[in-house]
């Protein structure tokens, strides 16, 4: 999929030689440049966050096609809503980006039957999800048990789990994405871990 956020995107090499390397430019400055019509700033943002965002959506949607579609919709929504981005918001651009992606996924779940789609999206979880060493996957049987256990978690706890382990977000960013206090996000994760341990035993 073409993940550029604008047409006629200048190559990264076209950035001024006197400017700092693109990788070190703060997100907020890139957003300002993108607002001012510099498409190369958008390309840097896509390069910086597209891999983690797509991986998160693939795990959430459990469908390559749907994940690609949500990924593209998310970046289009970023472009459409640049003027609304608040540089002072907790978690900055990354949290804002993942919140948009989560909202796009929620829209799909609502249209298809939210609970059913959520369950489908979380049914198969690889060994990457291991809140602690006791949850490392060693056999396909344990994989199946963990998947079934995660299916039994309340939706709010499953969502925190997915955001934490597939988007590599900090809890303060997860709280911002979900629109809840930090303590609530931490509490949901703690309860999810305890419930998983109980179910796995």
Assess whether pLDDT exceeds 60 at residue 123. Answer: no
pLDDT at 16 over 60: no
CA dist., res. 37 & res. 158, Å (int)? 39
The domain spans of the chain are 19-113, 122-201
Residue 116: C-alpha distances to residues 85, 88, 113 (Å): 32, 36, 6
**Average pLDDT value for the chain:** 75
Which band of pLDDT confidence, cut at 50, 70 and 90, is reported for residue 22?
low
Q: Output DSSP code: residue 21.
A: P
CA atoms in the 13 A half-sphere facing the CB of 31: 20
**Torsion, Cα of 123, 128, 134, 135 (10° steps):** 0
Q: Which tens digit of pLDDT belongs to each residue from 48-81?
A: 999 989 988 887 777 888 889 999 999 999 998 9
The residue ranking higher by pLDDT, 81 or 147, is: 81
Q: What is the pLDDT of residue 116?
A: 53
| Percentages of the chain per state (helix, strand, coil), in multiples of 5 | 70, 0, 30
Q: How far is CA 157 from the centre of its chain?
A: 15
Question: CATH assignment of 122-201?
Answer: 1.10.10.10
Residue 152 has pLDDT above 80, yes or no: yes
Q: Which of 164, 131, 156, 160 is nearest to 146 (CA)?
A: 131
Between 50 and 133, residue with greater pLDDT:
50
Among all chains, which residue has been given the structure tokens 């459990």? Answer: 62
Instruction: Give the separation between CA 160 and CA 174, rounded to whole angstroms.
Output: 7
Q: Which of 11, 14, 19, 3 is nearest to 76 (CA)?
A: 3
pTM: 0.60
Which residue shows structure tokens 């709280």?
Answer: 175
- pLDDT at residue 105 is higher than 80: yes
Q: Evaluate the CA torsion angle 184, 187, 193, 196 in order and state its sign.
A: negative
How is domain 19-113 classified at the CATH fold level?
Answer: Rna Polymerase Sigma Factor; Chain: A (1.10.1740)
């Amino acid at each position: 999929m073409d993940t550029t956020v604008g047409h006629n995107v200048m190559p990264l090499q076209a950035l001024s030689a006197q400017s700092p390397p693109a990788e070190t430019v703060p997100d907020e400055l890139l957003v300002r440049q993108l607002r001012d019509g510099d498409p190369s700033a958008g390309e840097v943002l896509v390069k910086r966050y597209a891999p983690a965002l797509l991986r998160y959506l693939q795990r959430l949607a459990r469908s390559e096609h749907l994940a690609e579609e949500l990924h593209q919709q998310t970046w289009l929504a970023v472009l459409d809503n640049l003027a609304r981005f608040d540089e002072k918001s907790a978690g900055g651009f990354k949290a804002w980006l993942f919140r948009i992606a989560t909202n796009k996924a929620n829209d799909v779940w609502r249209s298809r039957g939210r609970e059913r789609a959520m369950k489908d999206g979380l049914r198969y979880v690889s060994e990457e999800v291991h809140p602690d060493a006791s949850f490392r996957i060693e056999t396909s049987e344990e994989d199946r048990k963990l998947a079934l256990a995660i299916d039994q978690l309340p939706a709010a706890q499953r969502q925190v789990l997915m955001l934490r382990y597939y988007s590599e977000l900090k809890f303060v960013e997860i709280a911002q994405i979900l629109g809840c206090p930090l303590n609530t996000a931490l509490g949901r994760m703690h309860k999810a871990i305890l419930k998983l341990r109980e179910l796995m035993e």
